[in-house]
Structure 1
Amino acid sequence: MKSEKSKESDPPQNETTTAWYEPPPYEIHSSGKLLASTCTLKDDGTLDIDFASSAPDELANALPEYQAVVVESKPPATLHRQCPPLNVVVQVVGSRGDVQPFIALGMALQRYGHRVRLATHDVFADFVRKSGLEFYPIGGDPEDLMSYMVRNPGLLPSLESLKGGDIPRKRRMIYEMLKGCWKSCVCPDPVTQEPFVANAIIANPPSFAHVHCGQALGVPVHIMFTMPWTATRAFPHPLTNVKARNIRQSNANYCSYGMVNMLTWQGSGDVINKWRVEDLQMDPVHTSMGPDLIETLKIPFTYCWSPALVPKPNDWGSNIDICGFFMRDEPVFTPPDDLVSFLRAGPMPVYIGFGSIVLESATKMTEIILEACKMAGVRALVSRGWSKLGGDNSSTGDVFYLEDCPHEWLFKQVQAVVHHGGAGTTACGLYNARPTVIVPFFGDQPFWGHVVASNGAGPIPIRHQSLTSQNLADAIKFCLTPGAQQAAQAVADQMLRENGVNMAVQSFHHHLNMSDMTCDIDPQHAADWMCRKPKSKTCMKVSHAALKDLITSGQVKVSDAVPHRPKEYNMDIERWDPVSGGVSAFIGVMTDVTSAIGGTFVNPFREYKKTRFAGGNGGEATLSAAAAMGKGVASMGTSVTKGTLVGVPMAFAEGFRNAPKLYGDDIMDHGTVEDWKSGGVVAAKTFGTGFYEGITDIVTKPYAGAKKEGALGFMKGLGKGSMNMVTKPGSAMFGLVAYPAQGIYKSMKTLRKSTVESTVRSGKLASLERCNPSLRARQ
């Protein structure tokens, strides 16, 4: 009989080639003239990053242009038609404090007529449903997640966790939640069995599934979060400590975000790609795109904090809004008699609690809190939280141990608050003008600690590892000073003028393309289907109700309609030139082949071991190993064929096509390859215009340049024309092979029955069956 520990070390029964048990290489050391960097992973999971440059001016020019203009923090009022009711899934990974702001958002979305499903961890089912929102479980244990995050305050694991076996559990948890997030987009309600297919997705970044689910469904995605996730020169990534040598600090700040993204992708990219291939039946995301996918695709982003505390940086684009904290309506709460008696028995107490944080030693923390309260001379309301502060201790004359209690009511009863610095708790304290001591553990908590301190509403945050009775007592005393109380009141006055959730809903609506989302027959309803117009070859977007009417009247058949995809995401790699494009494609092919070769030798052994571990005999284990070897050989053949016929030629074709951009010339768009037919069309257009322009540009470019800028323009045009004699015919030649091959590859993928498409269609058909044609009130 194997021990529990040895069971944990065996591969899962459904394992393919994902190395669950191998810690990712969380390190980056690069050297170069433009940017040299050294990253060191600290024991607390944060990063020390050292940037240097031998050409700082060139680096500054290489970064996206900085617009030093005054930027409006609030989203502009939408100019589009009114948003129709949508099925909105809100995907949230985190603690109760992470979930609570999105409950406020969900309730606001409901007031606008949307059907809102909050998809998060199973343990929050009652919390979500009691708020009047639909709930869908995505798996994952938030208590285990919080315990992991206390040991690993950054998004990256500490050295202790790398050695202690946390990695496979965390990576498996991510995989479980990815699968749950996809199901939350297309599966019926677990309780009512009401069908559901999402028209839009709102998510926080740690849910990871957002953009990929959006691509599979063809629906818009909107990211909302409580900490900076978008690169800016204004401040570094909150999980980093940045040093800049011979480089502007602002540029180092900007680069820190890319560094964290790369390291995060190192730890989760293979898990995400495994899920994409197996569950979503889509190609894996290329390593060069994965880390910065959200920014590359210009996904709309709403930050839910007060712009009065952290204004919108000037280098954030129009797709980013800061809307204010998400404050829910104060819930109805009747305090227990013993709590009321405690509050009346003396001066206003101080609140101390760490919510969902799972402490390593609740006993030690309790001792620190009690001693600090004595030193500061204050009474205290201590929230037991998930760590059960106080253990079995009973409340005394100066200390009252709280169970679950809404902060909206509670913070009105205290004179200061001490907590971990979650965005929701921080917002609630400041909204009620309560000076705040933040003891951060991980994530955005240090960031909010420094924001509070910079506004004078609390002391410098105290890391939980450094917390003592003395510094906690000093921090509480600081909060009781008139200066801190006045600063907290000033912040509260600003927040009272904001309405974060309503502004967030406006932001969500503003970034939707309403013309793509609405029914052509009845714009007051969302378009869920595409079908041909009666007696016409053109297509139209229709709602469930409109389609049912068309079917009932005999104008169209169910088989004529396909699920509508209002938003498409292009995750193909953009090749900037033939050299780097060709080299990267060749490396990619070699990586795939090497991985397949490795799987051919490693997977048979794994399958043999798993079969024997499951109780199979030697013959069954040998058959399993042989099947795994066959899969490895097939994978190797597929990688070679796809790489040589599609990947490498496409890289050269696109590299030559895009090369004129590097010297300021325009390129012609010949369309998108969707199938074998469009692949041939794009190849023909590229071939014809490539050779024609490659020859004529040597005349037309100098002439146009001279006409515009005289002799200097003539020389520029001559240079462009000379380069185009190589790049455009080069694109034409490689495109003659690449585009048809890509079209054939996509057509072959389309021929295979997609369970994803079947699932989406089945969900929409179920909604169609339940639809009442009388919903079409206005035509």
Structure 2
Amino acid sequence: MAGLGSRLQSLGYDVAIAANVAYAPLITAAGCEHRELPGDMSHLVSPAAPGKRPTGADLRRYMDELGDYMDLAATGTLAAAESGAEVILANAIAPYAYDVAEALEIPAIGAHLQPTEPSAAYPPVVLGTARSLGPAGNKLLGSLVSAGKAPYDAPSARIRKALGLGKKSRAAADRLRRKDNSPVLHGISPTIFPRPADWRSGLSLAGYWWPEAEPGWQPPAELLEFLAEGPPPVFIGFGSSAALDADFMLDTVRRSGVRAVLQGVEGVSGSGVIGVGAVPHQWLFPRMAAVVHHAGAGTAAAGLRAGAPTVSVPIYTDQPFWAARITSLGAGPQPVPYKELTTERLAAAITQATATPAYAARARHLAAVLASEDGTAPVVAALRAAGKQG
């Protein structure tokens, strides 16, 4: 979103992004205004140990914590919009943004990084599975999930009441937006995810919204030295989920016999291994022989953009969906589900990814196609249309 915001700023739009305080430097570096959302999402994205399934108690605790976070986010969204807005771009887990827009009498446009519309083409991504139930089953289950309870239902109802709006459930509001064919932009490449035939016309694939290059950023000297010392290494990192500890990564590297860059475990070093902190993926990934990650929407896109074969270790929500897309496109081997993860299985997948030339060739082809796509133009068109309607 910060990358998209930067491009919109360059076209004359004033862009403010509502996000947790941890993202303020990223937002302001992109030239956008940061409006703070209270709360901290980081503790909600740390899974159980590799190879372990969450218990019922784990899931109940997670849903309670997620509900508390959403309540804070709804309050922050209202405050952010009241600071001044003429249109709101709302992500997939912020339905209360539509309630705020309704009260302020301004347009709201969906801006999603995952396909959430019920469809025959895929099972609902919120369930954390890529297993198809067939066209009829996918569509039915997607519709049931969309109409079911969600952790942002209570915050949406509270915001509507606080704003003096009439009662309307989140599910009912979703149905009304579908009936009205309200626009939803998806920051997804149609090359990676072809548009489903049963989508309504208001749903569009804009193309990826790439992050901006950090101005003045320079790679650490130790990392440059490491890259120059031998053949391209393998990247292993799990972003904000902090899914794997250093010992697990090091054992995996030893078993696979590759050089490796380990993100999130700074200070770790050894023969053929270096640990790093935050390094821009658009700089690092093109220098890798393969990338190993959780297949989140942004990281999966970054790996494809870099033309690097991908080993996916999906954990939850939309990650199995993106992992399956990468495999189906021929850009990497079969995913290694986190709940079945061992160092032996991950090492075997890394060996397969780096020793199969077809994966690298296919990844390079996809990267060339992605380089020709422009994800900003459809957003500008939608903003202009919203301005004319307003």
- TM-based fold match above 0.5: yes
Name the CA shift for 1:185/1:472 in 2 (closer, same or farther; >3 Å): same
Of 101, 117, 125, 2:16 maps to: 117
Provide the C-alpha distance between the structure 2 equivalents of 1:243 and 1:312, rounded to a whole number of angstroms. Answer: 17
**After superposition, where does 1:496-515 map in structure 2 within 5 Å?**
496-509=371-384, 511-512=385-386, 514=388
The alignment partner of 2:274 has SS state of strand
2:76 is the counterpart of 1:180? yes
**After superposition, where does 1:61-460 map in structure 2 within 5 Å?**
102-147=1-46, 150=47, 159-161=56-58, 165-187=61-83, 197-240=84-127, 249-265=134-150, 267-278=151-162, 280-286=163-169, 289-290=172-173, 292-331=175-214, 332-359=216-243, 362-363=244-245, 366-384=246-264, 389=265, 394-460=268-334
Provide the C-alpha distance between the structure 1 equivalents of 2:386 and 2:86, rounded to a whole number of angstroms. Answer: 11
1:167 Cα deviation (Å)?
Answer: 4.3
Q: With structure 2 as the length reference, what TM-score do the two structures score?
A: 0.91
Provide the C-alpha distance between the structure 1 equivalents of 2:102 and 2:192, rounded to a whole number of angstroms. Answer: 35
- Given that 1:264 and 1:291 are in contact with CA atoms closer than 8 Å, whether structure 2 keeps it comes out as no
Taking every aligned residue pair, what percent have the same amino acid on both sides? 28
- Given that 2:123 and 2:138 are in contact with CA atoms closer than 8 Å, whether structure 1 keeps it comes out as yes
Give aligned pairs, total. Answer: 381
Of 340, 347, 356, 1:473 maps to: 347
Q: Which amino acid aligns with 2:380?
A: V
Provide the C-alpha distance between the structure 2 equivalents of 1:339 and 1:315, rounded to a whole number of angstroms. Answer: 47
Provide the C-alpha distance between the structure 1 equivalents of 2:315 and 2:63, rounded to a whole number of angstroms. Answer: 19
The alignment partner of 2:197 has SS state of coil
- Given that 1:306 and 1:495 are in contact with CA atoms closer than 8 Å, whether structure 2 keeps it comes out as yes
Provide the C-alpha distance between the structure 2 equivalents of 1:492 and 1:288, rounded to a whole number of angstroms. Answer: 38
- Given that 1:333 and 1:409 are in contact with CA atoms closer than 8 Å, whether structure 2 keeps it comes out as no
Name the CA shift for 1:350/1:442 in 2 (closer, same or farther; >3 Å): same
The alignment partner of 1:174 has SS state of helix
Name the CA shift for 1:220/1:168 in 2 (closer, same or farther; >3 Å): same
Q: Which amino acid aligns with 1:346?
A: G
Show CA shifts across 1:629-649 (max 9, x none).
xxxxxxxxxxxxxxxxxxxxx
1:219 Cα deviation (Å)?
Answer: 1.1
Structure-2 residue corresponding to 1:590: none
The alignment partner of 2:239 has SS state of coil
CA RMSD in angstroms, aligned pairs only? 2.2
1:513 Cα deviation (Å)?
Answer: 5.3
Q: Which amino acid aligns with 2:17?
A: L
1:429 Cα deviation (Å)?
Answer: 1.2
More helix as a share of residues: 1
Gap runs ≥5 in structure 2: 49-53
- Given that 1:438 and 1:462 are in contact with CA atoms closer than 8 Å, whether structure 2 keeps it comes out as yes
Provide the C-alpha distance between the structure 2 equivalents of 1:423 and 1:464, rounded to a whole number of angstroms. Answer: 16
Provide the C-alpha distance between the structure 1 equivalents of 2:92 and 2:365, rounded to a whole number of angstroms. Answer: 31
Structure-2 residue corresponding to 1:647: none
Name the CA shift for 1:272/1:374 in 2 (closer, same or farther; >3 Å): same
- Given that 2:146 and 2:171 are in contact with CA atoms closer than 8 Å, whether structure 1 keeps it comes out as no
Structure-2 residue corresponding to 1:484: 359
Q: Which amino acid aligns with 2:361?
A: Q
Gap runs ≥5 in structure 1: 1-101, 152-156, 188-196, 517-565, 567-779
Structure-1 residue corresponding to 2:51: none
Name the CA shift for 1:329/1:180 in 2 (closer, same or farther; >3 Å): closer
1:158 Cα deviation (Å)?
Answer: 6.4
The alignment partner of 1:132 has SS state of coil
The alignment partner of 1:328 has SS state of coil
1:288 Cα deviation (Å)?
Answer: 6.3
Show CA shifts across 1:140-177 (max 9, x none).
21212323xx36xxxxx9622355x4444332221111
Q: Which amino acid aligns with 2:141?
A: S
The alignment partner of 2:377 has SS state of helix
Provide the C-alpha distance between the structure 2 equivalents of 1:162 and 1:458, rounded to a whole number of angstroms. Answer: 31
Q: With structure 1 as the length reference, what TM-score do the two structures score?
A: 0.47
Provide the C-alpha distance between the structure 1 equivalents of 2:326 and 2:171, rounded to a whole number of angstroms. Answer: 37
Name the CA shift for 1:128/1:513 in 2 (closer, same or farther; >3 Å): closer
1:403 Cα deviation (Å)?
Answer: 1.0
Provide the C-alpha distance between the structure 1 equivalents of 2:343 and 2:32, rounded to a whole number of angstroms. Answer: 42
**After superposition, where does 1:349-748 map in structure 2 within 5 Å?**
349-359=233-243, 362-363=244-245, 366-384=246-264, 389=265, 394-480=268-354, 481-509=356-384, 511-512=385-386, 514=388, 516=389, 566=390
The alignment partner of 1:205 has SS state of coil
- Given that 1:440 and 1:461 are in contact with CA atoms closer than 8 Å, whether structure 2 keeps it comes out as yes
The alignment partner of 1:136 has SS state of strand
The alignment partner of 2:148 has SS state of helix
Show CA shifts across 1:94-136 (max 9, x none).
xxxxxxxx01110111122111000011221122112211000
Q: Which amino acid aligns with 1:250?
A: P
Structure-2 residue corresponding to 1:759: none
Provide the C-alpha distance between the structure 1 equivalents of 2:337 and 2:136, rounded to a whole number of angstroms. Answer: 28
